[in-house]
Structure 1
Amino acid sequence: MNCIIIEDNKNTVDVLQDIIKNNFPSIKVLGTATSIEKGISILNTYKPDFIFLDINLDDGEGFSILKEFPNADFKIIFITSYSKYAIQAFKFSALDFILKPFTPNEICQAIDKVIENKINNDQKEKLDTFLHNYNSQSKKIVLSDIDHLHVVPIEEIIYASSENSYTIFTLKNKEEIVVSKSLKSFDEKLAPYSFIRIHQRYLINIEYVEKFHKKNEEILLSNKTILPVSKAKKEQLIRALKKL
């Protein structure tokens, strides 16, 4: 396999090359680039199997390079320094990324995924979703079921429910999407966007709450679904509703 490193920090480039040399002798680094212009040039010259791409280059954002390759068949391992907005966008888009400072083991795991063809499935849809989330106030989330990858505006989600190790999303259009991930993982992603955990089994978008029955400890949602509210979450829900 062949790869290209697009990174403007020389030390990081050297570290990546050493990790590849010491752990993956069959992988050849075809070249490196430190800027958007050179990155585009080197990708046009070579046909790598995958690339390392720093999202923050000296002359702009690494994503500018990808716009020149809308149908890229190379796989991408993203590298980024801490950025709240970038990390949120990555998580919503279901794209893998490595956060600086990284460890050799993290790089090895990422390369192993490339080798096993387990990285960047539906890459174009995920990249498009990432760019939307990174550049827009409105957010979309990638939800993957057995057969399809769904790109869903988060404001279209009414609630999510836990079913063993699965999460079932109920959308405004009445569609249901079953994802093989825990509700907790989505709780952490969606909490900043009007979502609140009202019960061990339920995460709701409070924008769709029509009524809260304090005595019965139940909420009525706009799609006429009635859900229980746990005693531990009752006061938190009331505070959230008062802010609407």
Structure 2
Amino acid sequence: MISCALIEDDKNTITMLKSIIEENFDAINVIGSASSINAAYELITNTNPTFIFLDVNLEDGDGFEILNKFNSPKFTVIFITSYSKYAVEAFKFSAIDFVLKPFSPSDIIKAVNKVIQEEHKNYLEKITTLYHNHTSGQKKIILSNSDSIHVVSLEDILYAKSDNSYTTFFTIDKREILVSKSLKSFDDQLSSYFFFRIHQKYLINLQHIKKFNKRNDEIVLINDTSLPVSQGKKADLLHLLKSSS
């Protein structure tokens, strides 16, 4: 039997979560709830749940403090949060499931299904990266493929190249990481972090531009890679380069 613990300081949210799980997942047993860090630690230690719902903001502190008490957590986490945008973005970078308040039953069902299917070996990498993104100014991203899980600092990415529904990331240390996600999904995710889509096929890290060749409309990166800039993106790119200089 799969077991679940609810770490949340709002009684109405606990009641709603318990109801949604019991109505939609016969194989999941809700083994208890806790509203504080110490009570949550005791509940998890005593019951060993398969996964937990964890509110980011508890009555006595930060929900991340609970995770920090376990050297190698054997449970998976679904975060519940009404937290600020940067925290939600950190969750996305780490590929951890989260539910944003106010949530619907379908949000909970979708998150639970994803966590049930999560491989534990992958999860430990993701939870470490999540904690790093929450506590550090240096952002990292999880890039997963069939062979490996890569934890990459955003500042180490030179550019990404689209190949239909696949994306290849090129890094400063000469790695090429192929991911089965579209470039558009990464464009949406990284645009707030000084990344810019210069062409239908290319997303670049603006911090690593060496020069822009106006004659042939090409960006040259610090490793001397030349990439084309589309006419539709040229004006916006020049504006960004001038405003950042």
Q: Which moved further from structure 2: 165-174 or 215-224?
A: 215-224
Aligned ranges 1:1-244 → 2 under 5 Å: 1-115=2-116, 117-118=117-118, 122-242=122-242, 243-244=244-245
Residue identity (%): 53
CA distance in 1, matches of 2:142, 2:107: 23
Are the counterparts in 2 of residues 95 and 120 from structure 1 also a CA contact under 8 Å? no
One-letter amino acid matched to 1:76: V
Deviation readout 1:48-71 (Å, 9 max, x if unpaired): 111111111111111111111121
CA distance in 2, matches of 1:35, 1:153: 33
Distance 1:198 1:120, change over 3 A: farther
CA distance in 1, matches of 2:134, 2:10: 23
Between the two proteins, the alignment pairs up a number of residues equal to: 243
Q: Which moved further from structure 2: 152-161 or 118-127?
A: 118-127
CA distance in 2, matches of 1:144, 1:28: 31
Gap runs ≥5 in structure 1: none
SS at match of 2:192: coil
Deviation readout 1:35-94 (Å, 9 max, x if unpaired): 101000111111111111111111111111111112111121111114211111011111
The CA deviation at 1:21 is 2.0
The CA deviation at 1:26 is 3.2
CA distance in 2, matches of 1:188, 1:49: 32
CA distance in 2, matches of 1:136, 1:26: 38
Gap runs ≥5 in structure 2: none
One-letter amino acid matched to 2:217: E
Are the counterparts in 2 of residues 70 and 124 from structure 1 also a CA contact under 8 Å? no
TM value normalised by structure 1: 0.95
One-letter amino acid matched to 2:184: K
CA distance in 2, matches of 1:4, 1:201: 44
The CA deviation at 1:111 is 2.0
Deviation readout 1:158-195 (Å, 9 max, x if unpaired): 11110111111100011110011111111122112221
SS at match of 1:192: helix
The CA deviation at 1:202 is 0.5
The CA deviation at 1:27 is 2.0
Are the counterparts in 2 of residues 52 and 76 from structure 1 also a CA contact under 8 Å? yes
The CA deviation at 1:2 is 1.5
The CA deviation at 1:120 is 5.8
One-letter amino acid matched to 1:110: A
SS at match of 1:72: coil
Distance 1:12 1:119, change over 3 A: farther
One-letter amino acid matched to 1:154: L
CA distance in 2, matches of 1:81, 1:121: 28
Are the counterparts in 2 of residues 79 and 99 from structure 1 also a CA contact under 8 Å? yes
